[in-house]
Amino acid sequence: MNTAFEITIEDIESLLQHEHYMDGFHLSTFYSLRGEKVFDEIFQDLNKEDFDRIEKSALYGDDMDSQTDYAYQEIIEILAEKEILIRVLQET
């Protein structure tokens, strides 16, 4: 895909530090022990297919804020699929 939306390491950092997006998830033990380089390592674990999925999701948004929201939601799903993020069982 060749679109105007592009994900960065800073997006990964922002996403993982944002309570709204991380609600119901936590970082896997492997990554939580990685220290300051964790955001770069997670970014490096994304492949072309992942970036294409993220860009496609962002296109659902009408403006930059909604594009970012769609992209971040897709990143959460991808990171959960890769078991970088672990879903937390919520008590009801």
Answer whether residue 34 shows pLDDT above 80: no
pLDDT given at position 92: 57
At 85 the three-state DSSP class reads strand
**pLDDT digits 0-9 by tens, 52-82:** 999 999 999 999 999 999 999 999 999 999 9
Instruction: Look at phi and psi of residue 83 and say left if phi exceeds 0, alpha if psi is from -120 to 50, else beta.
Output: left
pTM of the model: 0.86
More confident residue, 5 or 57: 57
The pLDDT of residue 26 is above 70: yes
